[in-house]
Amino acid sequence: MANNTNGEKVVVRGLEGVVAAETSISYVDGIHGRLLYQGYDIRDLAENVSFTETIFLLWRGRLPTLAELKTFRSEIVGEMRLPSQVVEMLKLTPPNSHPMAVLRSAVSMLANFDPDVEDRSPEANWRKARRLVAQVPTIIADLHRVRRGLPLLSPDPNFGISANFLYMLRGTPPNELERKAVEVLMVLLADHELNASTFTARVIASTLADMHSALAGALGALKGPLHGGANQRVMEMILDIPDVETVQAYIAGMLENKKRIMGFGHRVYRTEDPRTRHLRKYSELLCESRNEQHIHEISRRIEQAVMEAKGIYPNVDFYSATVQHALGIPAEYFTAVFAASRTAGWIAHILEQYADNRLIRPTSHYIGEMSLPFLSIEKRTA
């Protein structure tokens, strides 16, 4: 609620513009198209740090030294294996259940096997944080392989977490370009201020519930098509368009039918999202390397058509879809891959919430009846 000019309380729909937390983790400047992680501009970080460095930065508030990074990397890669019971659970899920539904359930299941689950001491929280950020990518890779009847792979200690994820999912080590692209993708998706899923994680953490519960809630929020679920739909749309020449009419038809174009629009950005430039570049490079230039060209044409018709910019989900496709990741796993990266940010926010907690409990504007006469069940009519 906020006060209008007459001093009356009014509901802020979608909590737009409501300041609900203080944070030093990330900052979005929607007017100038800037994104900062712990004070560093994403444009400086994107191509120059690894995902592991980004995790360290988000959690510790500073970039690691070379020695710290080496230790941190091997600690995380060393936690990438799943308890065998969780692997069994993946095998028990119906083949058509959505990977995000399985991931959400698997994170809940992991809580039951984590020796630190109910311990919120700083040491236990660091251990859980490392385990979770390592285990989420493995859940995705293992689920994919279980469903294809392929043997599960162990992480390669020579790779970091992002390259290991691709290797464990596909079974082939990523080439130079793919390693760079997956690293950039994971860095760019790692945090984004108080978006819907991060807010969800903070609300759950504010009840002093455990880290796994907060993460499972965040996964539920990310799954929705207005949030992380958009990237899968972006790819479905691109694959539904036969060629570049058809794009204009396809988009016009969607808009005429009042359909939203997935991967476009943003609550905060009023200009281009600073992550787009990097993702567009890797979309082009990867599509070219796979001889799938038409996929990137269709994306570019969609971008132009939506800009001409609505003046709306692509959001992070748009080119991350083509990047993931060209990395050989099936579309139904796109949102889960987003989650694997965002787990780093969610955990940073959960830890920040624990460190200075007050229960998040807003209020609502009641618009229902106030004095209905009670009727016993025999007297009620439908």
Contact call for residue 312 and ligand COA (CB under 6 A): yes
Structure tokens given for 34: 């800037």
Return the residue of 25, 109, 261, 327 that touches ligand COA, per CB under 6 A. 261
User: Between 3 and 22, how does the x/- string for binding to ligand COA read (CB under 6 A)?
Assistant: -----------x--------
Q: Is 91 in the site for ligand COA (CB under 6 A)?
A: no
Cα 293 from Cα 202, distance rounded (Å): 41
**Beta carbon of residue 221, minimum distance to ligand COA (angstroms, whole number):** 12
Q: Applying CB under 6 A, which of residues 100, 241, 262, 327 lies at the interface with ligand COA?
A: 262
| Binding piece for ligand COA, criterion CB under 6 A, among 27-35, 168-176, 255-263, 293-301 | 255-263
Whether the CB-CB separation of 354 and 205 falls below 8 Å is answered with yes
Residue 260 found at the interface with ligand COA (CB under 6 A): yes
Task: Provide the token pair at 118.
Answer: 């109910």
What distance in Å separates the CA atoms of residue 321 and residue 323, rounded to the nearest whole number? 5
| Residue range at the interface with ligand COA (CB under 6 A); choices 71-79, 241-249, 257-265, 280-288 | 257-265
Q: Using the rule CB under 6 A, is 264 a contact of ligand COA? A: yes
Q: Does 270 bind ligand COA (CB under 6 A)?
A: no
When asked if residue 101 is in the footprint of ligand COA (CB under 6 A), the reply is no
Does residue 310 touch ligand COA according to CB under 6 A?
yes
> Rounded to the nearest 10 degrees, how much is the dihedral formed by the CA atoms of 36, 40, 44, 50?
-100
> Measuring CA to CA, which residue among 307, 326, 343 is closest to residue 54?
343
CB of 236 to ligand COA, least distance (A): 13
Report the nearest approach of ligand COA to the CB of residue 189 (Å): 10
Binding ligand COA (rule: CB under 6 A), the pick from 30, 171, 265, 330 is 265
Closer of 173 and 225 to ligand COA (Cβ): 225
Task: Name the segment binding ligand COA (CB under 6 A); options: 58-66, 160-168, 308-316, 356-364.
Answer: 308-316
C-alpha pair distances (Å), 233 with each of 5, 196, 224:
41, 19, 11
Nearer to ligand COA, 321 or 348 (CB): 321
Q: Residue with structure tokens 């990977």?
A: 99
Buried b (16+ CB within 10 A) or exposed e, 178-212: bbbbbbbbbbbbbbbbbbbbbbbbbbbbbeeebbb
Supply 182's token pair. Answer: 């997956």
Residue 230 makes contact with ligand COA by CB under 6 A: yes
CA angle at residue 206 from 61 to 18, to 5 degrees?
A: 80
Q: Examine residue 34 and tell whether it contacts ligand COA (CB under 6 A).
A: no
Q: Are 152 and 144 in contact (CB under 8 A)?
A: no
Q: Active-site positions?
A: 266, 317
* Options 50-58, 80-88, 282-290, 310-318: segment touching ligand COA (CB under 6 A): 310-318
Q: Which of 316, 326, 347, 350 binds ligand COA (CB under 6 A)?
A: 316
The region of 149-157, 226-234, 327-335, 373-381 touching ligand COA under the rule CB under 6 A is 226-234
- Smallest CA-to-CA distance from 53 within 70, 77, 41, 36 is with 70
Alpha-carbon gap, residue 69 to 60, rounded angstroms: 12
CA distances from 151 to 138, 170, 172 (A): 13, 11, 13
Contacts with ligand COA, residue ranges (CB under 6 A): 14, 226-227, 230, 260-267, 310, 312, 315-317
